Structure 1
Amino acid sequence: MANKRVFVSFDFDHDKVVKEFVIGQSKLPDSPFTVVDTSLKEAAPEATWQEKARLAIKRSDVVMVMVGRYTHRAPGVLKEVKMARDEGKPIFQVIGYKDGDYTAVPNAGRLYRWSWPTLKKLLA
């Protein structure tokens, strides 16, 4: 069975490191997923960014929101969640850090603690 194609949404201003960790896990030999694309990587005109994000979300099988302290109010994440909903993509959230209290992103699915067994189960 082919790996699931995942679009990773994250707060670009605060949580780039969690995106790198997810990409690293996607490259493990027993990974059931590949990262199709991630949130905005560089400054881009609004229209261009939204178009590229929507196309990447369309190519994905599932959208994973990596949650940090401010993700629930990150404008780009909120737009990507809406795009995922508009495209009918399954979506879930993963807390990107070990400690702390985190607020779920509105309308972005269930919130999970991050562990390799959990990711493998969710993306199998």
Structure 2
Amino acid sequence: MAKTKVFISFDYDHDEILKIFLVGQAKNEDSPFYLADWSIKEHIDDNWKAKARTRIKSVDVACIICGEHTDTATGVSAEVKIAQEEGVPYFLLNGYSEKTCKKPKAAKDGDSLYNWTWDNLKKLVGGAR
């Protein structure tokens, strides 16, 4: 079975450790996904957005890792908006079980924030949302 190509978006200033955790999970033997190039840490301008759009358009799904400050992370919101515009499915992953995580501003009201467990992650990547 082919693995699902996933783009990950996260708040570089506060949640880089969460990206590292997800990279580790992608390496699990039973992982149904692999990670594409993740977020681009550059000044948000038209060139940055064009690069992000190209990367997002090339994946099967986008995983948006949410932390305490994701609502103020302009890059994460821009990537969510691009996924919406391009029709790329995405899901919001609660990065911390012990903290209040916030959705990016571009998230829709109906977007759920899912608990990050290995079983949930495999289901979400597979389309269960």
Equivalent position of 1:24 in the other structure: 24
CA contact (8 A) 2:14 2:69 kept: yes
**RMSD (CA atoms):** 1.5
- Give TM-score, length-normalised by structure 1: 0.91
1:30-66 Cα deviation digits (max 9, x unpaired): 00001112112x4357232211111110011011100
Partner Cα separation in structure 2 for residue 74 and residue 43 of structure 1: 13
Which residue of the other structure, out of 110, 113, 116, is the alignment partner of 2:112? 110
Corresponding residue SS for 1:25 = helix
Alignment length, in residue pairs? 123
Partner Cα separation in structure 2 for residue 114 and residue 45 of structure 1: 28
CA contact (8 A) 1:81 1:107 kept: no
Identity %: 42
Question: Which stretches in structure 2 are left out of the alignment for 5+ residues?
Answer: none
Aligned AA (2:16): K
Partner Cα separation in structure 2 for residue 64 and residue 35 of structure 1: 10
Corresponding residue SS for 1:97 = coil
Equivalent position of 1:63 in the other structure: 62
Aligned AA (2:27): K
Aligned runs of 1:30-109 on 2, under 5 Å?
30-40=30-40, 42-44=41-43, 46-105=45-104, 106-107=107-108, 109=111
Partner Cα separation in structure 2 for residue 123 and residue 5 of structure 1: 9
Corresponding residue SS for 1:82 = helix
